[in-house]
Chain A
Amino acid sequence: MNMNTVSKITAILMLVTSLALTSCSKEEEMGCWPPLDVPGDSANVIMIFNATTNGQPLELLKNFKDPLGRTMQVELLKFYVSNVFVSFNGASTLLKKAALVILVDPNVTDTTKKHNEIALKIPYGNYDRITFSVGLDVVQNAGDPTKYPSAHPLSINQNTYWDAWGKYKFFMIEGKGDWDGDGTLTNIYGYHTGFDECYRSISFEKMLTLDATNSNETLNVNFEVNDVFFGKDTLDMKLHPSWHGDINTIETAFIISDNFQEGLRLN
Chain B
Amino acid sequence: MRNILILLSFMFILLSCSKEEKEDLPKDPIILPPYNPTYVDLNDRLPSYLPRMDIPADNKTTIEGIELGRALFYEPLLSGDGTQSCGSCHNQSYGFTDNGKKFSTGIDQVEGNRNSMQIINAGLRTSFFWDGRAATLEDQAFGPVTNPIEMHEKWPRAVAKINDISTYREMGYKAFGVVQLDSVLISKAIAQFERSIISGNSKYDRWKKGEYQMTPQEDYGRKLFNKDRDEIRDSLGNVIQVIPGADCFHCHGDLSDFTDNLFHNNGMDEIFTDPGREKVTGNAYDRGKFKVPTLRNIEHTAPYMHDGRFKTLDEVIDHYSDGLVHSATIDPLMKNVDIGGVRLSLSEKAALKAFLLTLSDPDFLDNPDYSEPPPL
Contacts and interface: CB of A to CB of B under 8 A. Distances in A.
* A in complex with B: yes
Size bracket, chain A contacts: 35 or more
Nearest to A249: B230
B277 to A, nearest CB: 9
Interface string B225-269: 011101011000100000100000110011110001111000000
A188 B330 CA distance: 9
A57 B208 CA distance: 45
Interface string B336-365: 011000000000000000000000000000
B329 to A, nearest CB: 9
B338 A163 contact: no
A157 B51 CA distance: 8
A163 B254 contact: yes
A18 interface: no
Contacts of B338: 186-188
A263 to B, nearest CB: 21
A242 B247 CA distance: 12
A35 interface: no
Contact of B255 (A145, A239, A242, A245): A145
Interface stretch (A90-98, A113-121, A148-156, A203-211): A148-156
A107 B243 contact: no
B255 A249 contact: no
B283 interface: yes
Contacts of B233: 239
Contacts of B126: 150, 157
A189 B126 CA distance: 27
Interface string B268-286: 0000000000000101011
B286 A176 contact: no
A156 B228 contact: no
B333 interface: yes
Interface residues of B, number: 37
B45 to A, nearest CB: 15
A161 interface: yes
Given A150-B51, A156-B255, A242-B228, A188 B335 contact: yes
Given A244-B228, A246-B243, A188 B334 contact: yes
A188 B249 contact: no
Contacts of A249: 230, 232
Interface of B: 49-52, 54, 126, 226-228, 230, 232-233, 237, 243, 249-250, 253-256, 260-263, 281, 283, 285-286, 326, 328, 330, 332-335, 337-338
Instruction: Give 6 nearest A-B pairs by CB, closest first.
Output: A164-B226, A174-B332, A190-B332, A163-B255, A163-B253, A146-B51
Given A109-B281, A175-B332, 8 more contacts: A60-B285, A107-B263, A159-B261, A161-B255, A176-B332, A190-B335, A242-B228, A248-B230
29 contacts: A106-B285, A107-B263, A109-B281, A146-B50, A146-B52, A149-B52, A156-B255, A159-B260, A159-B262, A161-B255, A162-B249, A163-B254, A164-B226, A164-B227, A174-B332, A174-B333, A176-B332, A188-B332, A189-B332, A189-B335, A190-B333, A239-B233, A239-B237, A242-B228, A246-B230, A246-B243, A248-B230, A248-B232, A249-B232
